[in-house]
Amino acid sequence: MLSTPRRSRARRPGSMPTGRPHPLLANAARSLVRPSAKPHTRQNGHIVPMRNQLQQGIVKALEERITMTDSNDSAPLVRGLGVVLDACAEAFLNEPTSQVVSDMRRVANVLGAPGFDDIEADDGLKQRYYDRMFVTSSPLYVPLREGSIVGGGVDQNGAMRYAGIESGRADHVLRCYRAVGFDHRALVGYPLAISTLKPDSIASELAFLAFCVQRCAKANEAGQRDEAARWIELAQTFARDHACTWIPAAAACLERTYRDFYARVCTLAAQAVHAVLDEALRKPS
C-alpha cells in the first residue's frame, strides 16, 4: 500500500557559454511528445486538446533543428530548449503516471541522455515521488528549493544538512517573476505539489525559464529581434543568478541516495539551465 503524504492546508499556488549549440541540444528526433500539465486549453472559446497542438509544434521545431544548416539561426535551439525545461518542470509537478514517464523518456532519448529506459510508472515510483518531494521524515527527501540547497552543506559526519525554507533568495526570485507577469501559482499539477509550491521551488524556476525562452521564440517568429534578445537576456541572467547556482547541487543531493527517476530528471534539468547560458541562443534568427 502506498504511504500517501498527509496533505497540508492548501496555499495558493557556473556558466557554460560556447560558440556552438550546446551539446545537450545537439541531437534531435522526430517523435518527441511534450508532457502536458494541462490536458486541454481554450482557443477561440472552444476546448481543444493541448497535447496535439504542442506535439505538432515540437516536431516541427526539432525537424528544423535536424535540417538546419545555418548555424546562425538560433530559433530551433530556443524552441527545443523551452521544451526540455517545460518537461523537467512538469515531471516534478505531477505524479509519475505512465504518460509523464513516457514523455520524459522521449525527451531524454532525443537529447541522448541515458538512464530513462528502465523506468516504469508503478506504485514504487509513485511512492518514491512522495518520499522525494513531500515526506520530510524520509531519508530520500530532498527540499528542492533554492534557499534550502544554497544554504545547506555536508556536516562533519558526512550527512547532508539543508537550510531553512525561508530565504531572501526566494524574495528576489518572486520579484523577477512579477517583473514580467509570470505567476508560479498558476502552474498546474498534483494538488499537493501545487499547494506546497514556492517561488524558488525547482518546478517554479524551470517553468519560469521555459516561459522566458518560449517568449523569445515567439518574438523571433514575429521578427521582433529586440524583443527576442530581451527575453533571452532575462533568461540568461536568471539562470546565472539563480537556477545554475543550485540545481546541479540538488541533482547531486538526490544522487547521494539513489540515481532514480527524480535524480535523473534533476540532472537533465541542471544541464538544461546551463544550456540557457549558451551564446548560440543570442544569435539572431
> Is residue 65 very low, low, confident or very high in pLDDT (cuts 50, 70, 90)?
very low
CA-based torsion, 91, 97, 100, 105: positive or negative: positive
Q: In this structure, what CATH number is given to the domain that contains residue 207?
A: 1.10.3480.10
Q: Distance between CA atoms of 249 and 44, rounded to whole angstroms?
A: 43
Q: Distance between CA atoms of 285 and 281, rounded to whole angstroms?
A: 9
pLDDT of residue 107: 87
Q: Are 37 and 94 in contact (CB under 8 A)?
A: yes
What is the extent of the structural domain holding 191?
Answer: 78-282
Q: Is residue 101 part of a domain?
A: yes
Residue type, 104: M
> Is residue 150 very low, low, confident or very high in pLDDT (cuts 50, 70, 90)?
confident
Q: Is residue 197 part of a domain?
A: yes
Q: Are 189 and 93 in contact (CB under 8 A)?
A: yes
Q: Is residue 155 part of a domain?
A: yes
The model's pTM is 0.77
Collapsed DSSP state (helix, strand, coil) of residue 49: strand
Rg, the chain, Cα only: 18
Longest dimension (CA), the chain: 60
pLDDT of residue 179: 96
Q: Which residue has the higher pLDDT, 235 or 57?
A: 235
Q: Is residue 51 part of a domain?
A: no
pLDDT of residue 91: 97
Q: Is residue 34 part of a domain?
A: no
Q: Is residue 56 part of a domain?
A: no
pLDDT of residue 1: 56
Count of domains for the chain: 1
Q: Is residue 17 part of a domain?
A: no
H or E, element range at 180:
helix 168-180
Q: Is residue 195 part of a domain?
A: yes
pLDDT digits (tens, 9 = 90+) for 159-212: 666 656 656 788 999 999 999 999 999 999 999 999 999 999 999 999 999 999
